[in-house]
């Protein structure tokens, strides 16, 4: 059973290595919802270097962007794709309005999926995000 912590760490290490090679914004959170990594594309999207976001809890960090739905109502974190994946341990997709680094609200598409070391061993969340093109709405 001593292999479980090593396996858990390996999954997160591999996810981080993969994320660092992508041009799409990627956020990596551990099983407690703590941001353990985001790549350069994510830095550009949020306007903050990883060193400033590292170790923050997702609810605090995402709350700064005041996520809104299409009608302009605030969306609770648990209703966002990231929150749904953390709570239900299943993949989720959504489009949400987030305030980006320039202070403007932008439509951000998100796909999140859980990471498991073993069938029931949830180790974190891999989240992809990108600006939604205006003509795709």
pTM for the structure as a whole: 0.84
Cβ burial, residue 135 (10 Å; 0-12/13-18/19+): exposed
Q: Tens of pLDDT along 107-122?
A: 999 999 999 998 889 9
pLDDT band, residue 61 (cuts 50/70/90): low
Q: Which CATH class is domain 3-136?
A: alpha beta
Q: Tens of pLDDT along 7-51?
A: 668 999 999 999 999 999 999 999 999 999 999 999 988 888 888
Q: Which pLDDT score is estimated for 2?
A: 46
* CA dist., res. 11 & res. 37, Å (int): 13
Which own/partner contact pairs does 16-19 have at CB distance under 8 Å and 24+ positions apart? 19/126
Q: Tens of pLDDT along 27-38?
A: 999 999 999 999
């Amino acid at each position: 059973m001593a292999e479980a912590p090593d396996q858990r760490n390996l999954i997160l290490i591999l996810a981080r290595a993969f994320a660092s090679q992508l041009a799409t914004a990627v956020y990596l959170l551990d099983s407690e919802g703590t941001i353990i990594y985001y790549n350069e594309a994510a830095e550009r999207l949020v306007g903050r270097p990883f060193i400033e976001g590292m170790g923050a809890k997702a609810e605090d960090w995402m709350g700064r962007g005041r996520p809104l739905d299409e009608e302009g109502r605030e969306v609770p974190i648990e209703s966002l794709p990231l929150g749904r994946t953390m709570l239900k341990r299943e993949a989720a997709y959504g489009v949400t309005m987030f305030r980006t680094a320039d202070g403007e609200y932008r439509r951000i598409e998100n796909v999140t999926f859980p990471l498991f070391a073993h069938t029931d061993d949830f180790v974190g969340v891999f989240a992809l995000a990108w600006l939604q093109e205006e003509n795709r709405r």
